[in-house]
A = this chain, B = another copy of it.
Amino acid sequence: MIDKSSPVPIYYQLEEHIKSQIEKGELKPGDCLPSEREYSEKYGISRMTVRQAINNLVSDGYLIRQKGKGTFVSERKFEQKLSELTSFTEDMKARGLKPDSKLLQFEIIPSDDAIATQLSIKRHDPVYQIRRIRLADGVPMAQTSGPLRDESHVAFRKTELSTYSEAATPICWRRKPFTGQED
């Protein structure tokens, strides 16, 4: 599983390993991962190396850390991967179009109640929110979007380009580690 003699960094091997477990469904959204110390012992690597892998997956939205509790698989990333594989990509392929060009959109928003609860942060703490524009042969076909927060967002989202509709769930994740100095 982990090859210490490989030129590929250990943290990156572990990162890909965990990512693949999530994508295969061996780790499901909401699941608690083994602790950092368990990974450390299991693979005979330093805890700091484990942390580097997990940090990257947290940045990428795959995992959520909770102090004193554990590290959990994010609720949203997996669902998005799924819909990518089942609905849009397959559909575009079926139409003979190239679905591999896609782009991500992010914004930083204050969290609402639902998001704050899900991520175990305070309400209004800033979070990243993702939406996606789906491309087929370079032409935008769909826009992944969620509940609207204010009119400006509505206006922005309503472009004539959204000719393809898709089940819509924004992904949110914490913007910064907290220092205890926020309040």
Contact check, A104 vs B107: say whether CB atoms are below 8 A apart: yes
- A12-B179, A179-B9, A181-B7 are known contacts. Are A152 and B101 too (CB-CB below 8 A)? yes
Interface residues of A in 134-175 (CB under 8 A from B): 135, 138-140, 150-152, 155-156, 159, 161
- Copies of this chain, complex-wide, total 2
A48 proximal to B (CB < 8 A): yes
User: Known contacts being A7-B181, A106-B104, A181-B8, is A139 close to B155, with CB within 8 Å?
Assistant: yes
CA distance A167 to B181 in the complex (A): 35
Q: Which residue of B lies closest to A158 (CB)?
A: B159
Q: How many chain A residues touch the partner (CB < 8 A)?
A: 29
The answer, yes or no, to whether A87 is at the interface (CB within 8 Å) is no
Which residues of A in the span 5-42 have a Cβ within 8 Å of any Cβ on B? 7-9, 12
Closest beta carbon of chain B to A172's beta carbon, Å: 13
Top 4 closest pairs, chain A to chain B, by CB: A103-B107, A106-B106, A138-B152, A105-B105
List 10 A-B residue pairs with CB atoms under 8 Å apart, sorted by A's residue number: A7-B180, A8-B179, A48-B48, A103-B107, A106-B106, A133-B152, A135-B152, A138-B150, A138-B152, A140-B156
